[in-house]
Structure 1
Amino acid sequence: MTPRTLLLSLTAALPMAFAATPAMSDARPLLQEGKQTLYQRVLTTPGCRLAEHSGGTGGEVQPAFSRFYVYQRSEQNGERWLEVGPDSYGSASGWLPESCTVDWKMQLTLSFTNPANRDRLMFFGERDGLMTVFDDFEPSSQVAPLRAQLRRDGSAPGIVAQEPEYFVDLQEQFYLLPILEGEEIMTEAGFMTRLLRVASVSEAEQGEAPQAPDDVAAQLREFNAGVVFVIDSTISMGPYIERTREAVERIYQRIEAQDLADQVSFGLVSYRDSVDAAPGIDYVTRMYADPGDVEDGSDFITRVADLHEAPAPTVGWEEDAYAGMMQAIDEVEWSNFGARYVVLITDASAIEGDSERSSTGLDADQIRLEAARQGIAVYTLHLKTPGGEQRGDHAVAESQYRNLSTFSGTGTSLYYPVATGDVALFGQRVDALAAAITDQVRSAYLGEEAIGSALHAEEEPEDASQQRMMDDLDMIGHAMRLAYLGQATGSQAPPVFEAWISDRDLIAQHVPTTEVRVLLTKGQLSDLSDVVSNILDAANAGLISPSDMFERLRSVAAAMGADPNQVQQSEAQRLGELGLMGEYLDDLPYQSEVLNLDEETWLSWDGLQQERFIRRLATKLRHYRRYNEDVDRWVSLAEGADPRDDVYPVPLEMMP
């Protein structure tokens, strides 16, 4: 059972999304100062008691960082009190002393990145302690003694806590790291870094203790891997299909010889293009082998025996690679595997999400995020064949697949081109990948300390590109092991109440330590989808008559109840000033392409620039719909709260 974690984010109070039913109270929480829709909200600090009335004594102690909306404020005997409730729908439940609460204003929270390629994040008790590190041109001189003392004594001066040794996966164990305040600085080493004051509390379920370190070796004996090849099987891919089959057959022989049949499983998905556009190609995607069902090497070979190149040509050179990826991501039960890999093999770029031939409506950004949600590392072997070069396809494909193959845990792009589409070189890459993954699992099974130590037992790679691939796989394998051990041992975020951290590694200051998420309620996500849809409609119309776009949006804003004075301003203005977007987006610390777009800029763009803007916005809209349907990841932040105040942690990059 996953430990219950009470880490609540200091985010903005969320607006009412639905009208109250007649049976509910008409009471609503107090609004934040200067806001029309954002309610006041607080979190409790340890020991806070919920009293029956203002100034009351006794009452039940609330879990630290419980979320409450503020309905009234009063003062009793010189002490300020708050009437609070668990949601924004009229269910006030008692009174809290203001002194034991913290205002909840910013709608941002942090999650840890996988620490495979960086040191564990340290929580500093004071800002000055963190600044001492960044004011040093050689920060290692400040950091090394602290880490040495932490390893030796378990504590160090000025350090409140450390990030867990093993990765805490937000998808597996929901937690939030609240931001109390933050600032951006330039370090002495020349990097832009954010200093963040954060707060957190984690609490395991009663009677449930974290697994003892002595059990780690035993846990690693259960570590396994699932590998799914996603192969372009259009008419030009015959030799590569056969060589992939051969590679998997070889590696299965090796797996069975090493008695690892239960530890490594392979699957295969084939993809082509739109059947409507080219009926003779038979299918868009097909799962030939699910790694969860494959029994052994001979079973795999039997299942993929019918895989051949398409009997007819497709419409264009680009194919529906994203459809093949999504079948592998959605239809494999990835939770059965500790290490999770997809290997995309193609000689062509992917059909973009806004094309009529796209069966997913998604682009590389969205596929990458979907893979990350499952903890999947995506490797791309891009065959740079003469056919692709003649059609000018290589640059497009490389851009797509570098993005798609960026592993969110480390920021590493697992994209590997194969020059001229050389079949022999391709075979070496596939053999090396399959063997390295198998050796990683074997290394963990045997208890070897370095997850990739067995990788170098084979012959050295013949070229620098293959060496890079092996080094990357070494690091990704380590990240997979950290994630697996984090889940297996019940790793939790540190029980810190307040501290200072950096969003970049203290020494390798280009490496991020955290990722930003925005919490949205169902109502907010619905409103956001409606607004983006309206902007898309106006933008599409604007392609025909560019000067009409902002006029149409002013009409939409008026119909949606925006401030009339704001809407009727005749000067060129940003989309964000039209009153279309919710106030919960106002204070997000990022540069929004949509909110910052003004009429003058739109009119200055050529048709291609406008189409790219529309395409990016359309793919985000399709992703919002996926979030809405992802019922397992909507989270309640307060016991007894109305489900309409449940939230979804949306990656910052998916905001408009």
Structure 2
Amino acid sequence: MLTMLVRSTARCRATHIAAAVFFSLVLFSLETAAVQQRKPLLLPGKQTLFQRVLTHPGARLFASAGDSAPVLNKWIIPFTVFYVYKRASVDGTEWLEVGLSSTGKVDGWIKGTKVSEWRQSLTLKFTERAGRQPVLFFKDMKSLEEVAASASPGKSASQLASQFVGIKSGSIKKPVDFPVLATEPTKEAISRQRFYMMPIFQAVEVFEGVKFLQIASIDPGSGKLPDDFDLRTGIVFVVDTTISMKPYIIRTREAVRKIYDAIDKVGLADKVAFGLVAFRSSTEKTPALGYVSKVLSDFRDGRERAQFERALAGMEEARVSTHSFNEDAFAGLKTALEDLNWDPYQSRLIFLISDAGAIRNDDPYSTTGMNEAEMADMAEAKGVKVFALHLKTPAGRNQKPNNHIFAENQYRVLTRHSDPTIGDLYVPIEASQTEAGVKGFGRVVEGIAGQMVGLVRATAAGERLQMPAQLSSAKGDAAKHAVGKAAILGYAMQLEYLGRRGGVRAPEVVTSWVSDMDLARPDTPTFQVTVLLTKNQLSDLHQRLKTVLDQAQRTKRTGARDFFQSILSAAAQTSRDPARFAKSPDKNLGQLGFLAEFLDDLPYRSSIMRLTEDDWYRLSVG
């Protein structure tokens, strides 16, 4: 009986202990779940979009709301993105409880005056100063609107820019209520080598096609350049060496000899260099071609002209035909961009020379797997301008369908430019008669290269190029038109070089208003819209796109609608909040019912985000 009692007591104690442990675990799991389930505050009127902020210089992280709380981080990197979990007021000042992620982990409290609300992930960078005025940064939207609505916005903007320069130099006293906080440098361009951020906080479309943007801008520091940082120009010929190209190969040799003579004459032998890349087509399909693309010569300046001229002399056309009229021009471009050393050259140019269109990613024998838009992005990332010299021969015209039309559309996309007065760097050369075609081709090459030599000569002499006159929109002499575009490019390249040499910073303003179009020329954009991504977010984007492509392989089972929504979803989420890519990699916003919410109120949309399902189906059918 006693034994039974002891056992019962022991059993009872064990039961109590087990119960206690069980309830402790339950409570612990509930507390853990409460932490895990905590989510950032939603944007007003949204079901899935969280509130986020960007930090200002001088922002600090506190353990709790209030200046007297312990400081967790004395210096937060400017423009750090935080999610907002809670808002509180202490002594009339707003404080935000924030976290770096949206998973429930809170990092601390930040004073509300040290952050700005950020509803998406869009930022700006300056377009090239090829044909526009420097950007003015206004203190408020009203001031910007008054200038834009004036009788002559361009003139008003120029006067304000001149006043600002005088105020900064001390020669002019700053007027009361002067509306301009900062300007883009007037005599130099912000170098592509300098990292700066201009996140968009607010956008208002006041005039059709023109948006006023509230932005912030900070330049985190300056890098030092070598003492011998001189302007050098690198020019690469990427030449189609298939059958029928021999006359143009010979004329290229003559043009190069003339350009070398010109740079020797003005003592710039070490400032201009040439490279040479040849391309054909698939050797898998036609082994006798010998190569798809190859470097015939790395950069050789005037001191090494003999080596380059030997490489030119060794460039010969193929002896067999290729499998398609289109050739693998993108392989040639990719080789030129990746295999040549562009580092010593600040102005960078490629002449793509072909009488045919380019094999793209929809051809089973494409060696790059790329299309013209992707090649354009690759060249832009390298800072290389591509002139497409399209020889319009009878053979191309006689193709069914007309290859001239296909090639022109391709090369206009490949050579696109942000300045609408340039539009693109596509140069059609009429070659119905070989002799006339060779003559026109030579004029174009020598004219464009001559502009680049002039750029180097003027810069070496300390001369500033003047902004070229606007190009005529009327169709005329293709060579003259191409040389005019090269002059505008040369002007922009000199500004870029002077900006790098002078260590020019982006305007250091906290918050200001700008126009996304030039006030003097409303058809000319002042900024390019970009998306801010961390390395991890870029990796997530890669994974999402891989998932989308995998879905494309299953389109017959999942349907074209799902595929379209997956692509649209990826674009929308990247623009809104890239950090949330990894949450549901196998789901798209259309399936979750939130696609419209992600697209609403975005100040800018990519071409994909502007597509409707009907547009998508039409593209698919075409």
Aligned partners of 1:509 and 1:280: how far apart in 2? 53
Deviation per residue, 1:533-592 (Å, 9 max, x gap): 1553355x38xxxx94337889999xxxx9xxxxxxxxxxxx963339987666534456
Change (3 A) 1:551 1:354: closer
Task: Map 1:122-521; keep pairs closer than 5 Å.
Answer: 122-154=136-168, 157-165=178-186, 166-170=188-192, 172-186=193-207, 192-204=209-221, 222-291=230-299, 296-391=304-399, 392-408=402-418, 412-420=423-431, 422-450=437-465, 464-520=477-533, 521=537
Conserved 8 A contact 2:373-2:414: yes
Secondary structure of 2:453 counterpart:
helix
Secondary structure of 1:334 counterpart:
coil
Match of 1:49 in 2: 60
After TM superposition, the score normalised by the length of structure 1 is 0.74
Secondary structure of 2:244 counterpart:
coil
Secondary structure of 1:516 counterpart:
strand
Change (3 A) 1:293 1:31: farther
Aligned partners of 1:281 and 1:133: how far apart in 2? 61
Q: Which runs of 5+ in 1 are unaligned?
A: 1-21, 454-462, 563-574, 613-656
- Compute the displacement of 1:46 (Å): 4.4
Q: Which runs of 5+ in 2 are unaligned?
A: 1-31, 169-173, 469-475, 574-587
Conserved 8 A contact 1:439-1:452: no
Aligned partners of 1:553 and 1:340: how far apart in 2? 38
Change (3 A) 1:203 1:262: same
Aligned partners of 2:613 and 2:153: how far apart in 1? 46
- Compute the displacement of 1:610 (Å): 1.0
Larger Rg: 2
Conserved 8 A contact 2:272-2:302: no
Amino acid at match of 2:121: Q
Instruction: State which drifts further: 428-437 or 345-354.
Output: 428-437
Deviation per residue, 1:334-365 (Å, 9 max, x gap): 23111100111111111122211211111111
- Compute the displacement of 1:447 (Å): 1.6
Conserved 8 A contact 1:193-1:502: yes
Secondary structure of 1:326 counterpart:
helix
Match of 2:24 in 1: none
Deviation per residue, 1:247-299 (Å, 9 max, x gap): 11222233233321210000011111111121111111011111168951101
Secondary structure of 2:254 counterpart:
helix
Aligned partners of 2:197 and 2:613: how far apart in 1? 38
Conserved 8 A contact 2:264-2:302: no
Match of 2:8 in 1: none
Change (3 A) 1:556 1:117: closer
Aligned partners of 2:369 and 2:566: how far apart in 1? 28
Conserved 8 A contact 1:531-1:581: no
Secondary structure of 1:245 counterpart:
helix
Change (3 A) 1:39 1:336: farther
Conserved 8 A contact 1:109-1:178: yes
Aligned partners of 2:606 and 2:158: how far apart in 1? 38
Aligned partners of 2:283 and 2:38: how far apart in 1? 53
Match of 1:568 in 2: none
**2:98 matched to 1:81?**
no
Change (3 A) 1:576 1:611: farther
Match of 1:529 in 2: 545
- Compute the displacement of 1:428 (Å): 2.0
Change (3 A) 1:440 1:202: closer
- Compute the displacement of 1:436 (Å): 2.5
Aligned partners of 1:538 and 1:168: how far apart in 2? 46
Change (3 A) 1:602 1:518: closer
After TM superposition, the score normalised by the length of structure 2 is 0.78
Secondary structure of 1:407 counterpart:
coil
Change (3 A) 1:312 1:452: farther
Conserved 8 A contact 1:167-1:491: yes
RMSD of aligned residue pairs (Cα, Å)? 3.5
Instruction: State which drifts further: 581-590 or 263-272.
Output: 581-590
**2:81 matched to 1:67?**
yes
Aligned partners of 2:344 and 2:38: how far apart in 1? 45
Instruction: State which drifts further: 407-416 or 193-202.
Output: 407-416
- Compute the displacement of 1:397 (Å): 1.0
Amino acid at match of 1:129: S
Deviation per residue, 1:84-142 (Å, 9 max, x gap): 34455776443222343222222211111112211101011121121122223532353
Match of 1:588 in 2: 602
Match of 2:590 in 1: 577
**2:122 matched to 1:101?**
no
- Compute the displacement of 1:35 (Å): 6.0
Change (3 A) 1:264 1:496: same
> Which of the numbers 106, 111, 124 marks the counterpart of 1:110?
124
- Compute the displacement of 1:312 (Å): 0.7
Instruction: State which drifts further: 35-44 or 192-201.
Output: 35-44
Conserved 8 A contact 2:240-2:329: yes
Match of 1:570 in 2: none
Conserved 8 A contact 1:54-1:74: yes
Give the length in aligned residue pairs. 541
Amino acid at match of 1:125: K
Aligned partners of 2:214 and 2:427: how far apart in 1? 39
Amino acid at match of 1:163: E
Secondary structure of 2:386 counterpart:
strand
Conserved 8 A contact 2:357-2:403: yes
- Compute the displacement of 1:452 (Å): 8.8
Conserved 8 A contact 2:61-2:110: yes
Conserved 8 A contact 2:97-2:106: yes
Aligned partners of 2:209 and 2:94: how far apart in 1? 40
Conserved 8 A contact 1:534-1:556: no
